[in-house]
C-alpha cells in the first residue's frame, strides 16, 4: 500500500511546529524562567537547545524519513532485529499515558471558555478553579465520583482529536493551516495587550532581569534541558511518525532548524505575554510577582484569570480577552494532542496493517477511557503524580536508549551521512558528538537529580502508596506494554510464516 504524503513541505513544518508548540510554551517556559534566574535562564536554555534538543529532533526526523515507518517499525528496521521494536513501542505507550491526561487539561479549557462569558471567577480565581471547577477532594485516595462538566469537556476534546486526524495526514494538513497560526496570532495579541497595561514593564523587567548566580546551580541547567526535551515533541515517537510521510528528498536539517527555533521564539513571546500581564496584576492588586503562582495549571487557571478579571474597560473587554486566552490554550493543546495520537496510530497501522480510520477511532476511545480517572474530583492529584513520573523518568530514559542505539549500535555517522545527502545544510562531526556523548550524559544527569530528589522526600508530600501506583506503577506498565506489542505478530511476521 502506497504511503501517505504531506500535501507540501510547509504543511509538514506547520504540523511539526503545532506538535512542538503546546502548553509547555504557554505556561511551562515562563514558569521555568520565573524559577530559574529570569533572563539568565535563557543561556542554559539555548545551550540545551543546541546540544540536545536540535540533535535529537534531527535524529528522529531522519529515522522516520529513512525508514518510512512509525517508531516501532523504524527501530526494528534500523536494528534488523524484532527486539529493537521495543525502543519504539515504549515511547508510544508513554505517549498514550501523556495524551490521556493532556486531554483533561483541554477539558478544563473548554469549561473556562464557557465560564469566560460571565467571568465566573471574578470573586476569587483560586477558589473557583479548585473548588467550583475541579471540586477537588482532600487526597488522591478520595476520588469523589466523576466531575460531570469536566467529563463533558473530555468527550468534546476526544471528538476534536478524532476529527482532526480521522483521514490521516490529509486531514491533519487541512487542520494545521488554522490551529497553528491562530494560537500564535492570539498569543501576539495577548502580548501586545499586556505590554500596554499599567505595570507591565515591571513584569517584563522581572522576566528579563538575569540572576547570574543561578547559572552555578546544576538544577537550573537540568530544568533547561528538561524544558527543551518536553517542548520539542522529541522522544514521543511523534516526529518519527510525522517525518515518515516525507518524500525521500526532504531536507531534514533545514526542517529541524525551522521547527526548533520556531518553538523557542514562540516560548519567548509567551514569556512577554505572561509577565506583562503579571506586572499588571501586581500593579492592580498589590500582590508581588514573586508571591504569585507562575507555573503549570496554576498560572493558566488561577493567576492569569485573576489578571483578566482586573483588566480596565469593563466586563466586555474582560470577556473578550479571557475568551482569547483560553481559545489560544485550546488550539495550542489540540495540535499537541492529535500529534501524539497520530504517532501511536502510525505505529499500529505500520505493524499490523489495520485500517487507519478505524485505528484512529479505537485509539481515541481508549484514550478517553484511560483519562477517566483524571475526570474525577481527585483528577488533579493523579495528573500531577503521573505527569511527574512519566515525564521525569520515562522520556529521559527513552532518550538515553535512543542515543545509545543510534550513536553506538547503528552508527551516528551513518545517519548523519544519510540526512546530509539531501540537505543544503550540512551537519558536521559535532552532531555525532552530541548524540554519542553530550545528549545521553545530560539526560543521565537530569534523571539522577530527579531520582535523588524523589528518594530524599515524597514528591509533593503525597502518600507513598499513591506514588507507587500512579508513579512507578505507570512507568512499569508502559515498559510491559512496549514488550507486549513487540512480541505480537504483525503483518510482516505473518507474511514471513
DSSP per-residue letters across 229-244: HHHTTTTSSHHHHHHT
The per-residue pLDDT of the chain, averaged, comes to 92
In which band, very low, low, confident or very high, does the pLDDT at 480 lie, cut at 50, 70 and 90?
very high
At 243-267, the pLDDT tens digits run 999 998 899 999 999 999 999 999 9
Q: Is pLDDT of 492 > 80?
A: no
Distances in whole angstroms, Cα of residue 117 to Cα of each of 13, 108, 190, 310, 323: 35, 15, 18, 15, 8
Average pLDDT for residues 474-486, to the nearest whole number?
95
pLDDT tens-place string over residues 202-239: 999 999 999 999 998 887 888 888 788 778 889 999 99
Residues 6+ apart with CB under 8 A from 77: 67, 69
Q: Is the pLDDT of residue 462 over 70?
A: yes
What is the percentage of the chain residues whose pLDDT exceeds 70?
Answer: 99
| Stated pTM of the model | 0.94
Say which residue the cell 521564539 belongs to: 265
Closest CA to 281 of 319, 248, 310, 261: 310
Check whether domain 9-496 has CATH 3.40.30.10, yes or no: no
What tens digit of pLDDT does each residue of 106-145 get?
Answer: 999 999 999 999 999 999 999 999 999 999 999 999 999 9
The closest alpha carbon to 323, from 494, 117, 482, belongs to 117
Query: What pLDDT score does 497 carry?
Result: 52
Which residues lie closer than 8 Å to 456 by C-beta, 6 or more apart?
none
Please give the pLDDT value at position 400.
Answer: 93
Q: What integer pLDDT is reported at residue 494 of this predicted model? A: 65
Tell me the CA end-to-end span of the chain in Å, nearest whole number: 20
The answer, yes or no, to whether residue 1 has pLDDT greater than 70, is no
State how far the Cα of 399 lies from the Cα of 236, in Å rounded to an integer. Answer: 10
CA–CA separation, 141 and 468 (whole Å)? 13
pLDDT digits (tens, 9 = 90+) for 328-343: 999 999 999 999 999 9
- Choose between 491 and 73: higher pLDDT: 73
pLDDT of residue 285: 92
Range with the poorest average pLDDT among 78-82, 160-164, 410-414, 450-454: 450-454
Angle at 438 between CA 344 and CA 239, to 5 degrees: 20
Task: Indicate the domain borders of the chain.
Answer: 9-496
Cα dihedral sign, 212-217-221-227: negative
Residue 340 near residue 167 (C-beta atoms within 8 A): no
Where residue 54 falls among pLDDT bands split at 50, 70, 90? very high
- How confident is the model over 272-319, as pLDDT tens digits? 999 999 999 999 999 998 888 777 788 899 999 999 999 998 999 999
Amino acid at each position: 500500500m502506497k504511503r501517505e504524503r504531506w500535501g507540501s513541505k510547509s504543511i509538514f513544518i506547520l504540523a511539526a511546529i503545532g506538535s512542538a508548540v503546546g502548553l509547555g510554551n504557554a505556561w511551562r517556559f515562563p514558569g521555568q524562567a520565573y524559577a530559574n534566574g529570569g533572563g539568565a535562564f535563557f543561556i542554559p536554555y539555548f545551550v540545551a537547545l543546541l546540544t540536545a534538543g536540535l540533535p535529537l529532533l534531527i535524529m528522529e526526523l531522519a529515522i522516520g524519513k529513512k525508514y518510512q515507518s512509525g517508531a516501532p517499525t523504524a527501530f526494528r528496521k534500523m536494528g534488523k532485529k524484532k527486539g529493537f521494536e521495543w525502543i519504539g513501542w515504549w515511547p508510544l505507550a508513554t505517549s498514550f499515558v501523556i495524551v490521556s491526561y493532556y486531554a483533561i487539561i483541554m477539558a478544563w479549557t473548554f469549561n473556562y471558555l464557557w465560564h469566560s462569558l460571565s467571568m465566573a471567577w471574578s470573586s476569587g480565581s483560586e477558589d473557583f478553579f479548585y473548588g467550583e471547577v475541579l471540586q477537588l477532594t482532600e487526597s488522591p485516595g478520595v476520588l469523589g465520583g466523576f466531575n460531570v462538566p469536566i467529563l463533558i469537556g473530555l468527550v468534546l476534546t476526544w471528538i476534536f482529536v478524532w476529527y482532526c486526524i480521522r483521514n490521516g495526514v490529509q486531514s491533519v494538513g487541512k487542520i494545521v493551516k488554522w490551529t497553528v497560526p491562530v494560537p500564535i496570532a492570539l498569543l501576539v495579541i495577548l502580548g501586545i495587550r499586556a505590554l500596554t497595561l499599567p505595570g507591565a514593564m515591571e513584569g517584563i523587567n522581572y522576566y528579563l532581569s538575569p540572576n547570574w548566580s543561578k547559572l552555578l546551580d546544576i538544577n537550573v541547567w537540568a530544568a533547561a534541558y528538561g524544558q527543551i526535551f518536553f517542548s520539542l515533541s522529541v522522544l514521543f515517537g511523534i516526529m518519527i511518525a510525522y517525518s515518515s510521510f516525507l518524500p525521500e528528498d526532504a531536507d531534514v536539517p533545514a526542517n529541524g532548524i525551522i521547527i526548533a527555533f520556531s518553538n523557542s521564539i514562540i516560548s519567548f513571546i509567551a514569556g512577554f505575554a505572561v509577565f506583562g500581564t503579571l506586572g499588571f496584576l501586581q500593579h492592580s492588586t498589590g500582590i508581588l510577582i514573586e508571591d504569585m503562582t507562575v507555573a503549570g495549571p496554576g498560572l493558566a487557571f488561577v493567576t492569569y484569570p485573576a489578571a483578566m478579571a482586573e483588566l480596565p474597560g469593563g466586563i466586555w473587554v474582560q470577556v473578550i480577552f479571557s475568551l482569547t486566552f483560553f481559545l489560544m490554550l485550546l488550539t495550542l493543546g489540540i495540535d499537541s494532542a492529535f500529534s501524539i495520537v497520530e504517532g501511536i496510530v502510525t505505529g499500529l497501522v505500520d505493524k499490523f496493517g489495520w485500517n487507519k480510520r478505524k485505528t484512529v477511532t479505537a485509539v481515541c476511545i481508549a484514550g478517553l477511557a484511560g483519562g477517566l480517572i483524571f475526570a474525577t474530583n481527585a483528577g488533579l492529584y493523579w495528573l500531577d503524580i503521573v505527569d511527574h513520573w512519566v515525564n521525569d523518568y520515562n522520556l529521559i530514559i527513552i532518550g538515553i536508549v535512543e542515543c545509545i542505539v543510534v550513536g553506538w549500535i547503528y552508527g551516528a555517522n551513518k545517519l548523519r551521512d544519510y540526512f546530509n545527502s539531501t540537505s543544503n545544510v550540512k551537519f558536521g562531526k559535532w552532531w555525532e558528538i552530541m548524540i554519542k556523548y553530550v545528549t545521553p550524559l545530560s539526560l543521565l544527569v537530569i534523571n539522577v537529580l530527579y531520582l535523588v530528589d524523589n528518594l530524599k522526600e515524597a514528591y509533593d508530600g503525597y502518600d507513598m502508596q499513591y506514588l507507587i501506583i500512579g508513579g512507578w506503577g505507570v512507568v512499569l506498565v508502559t515498559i510491559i506494554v512496549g514488550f507486549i506489542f513487540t512480541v505480537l505478530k504483525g503483518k510482516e511476521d505473518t507474511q514471513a510464516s
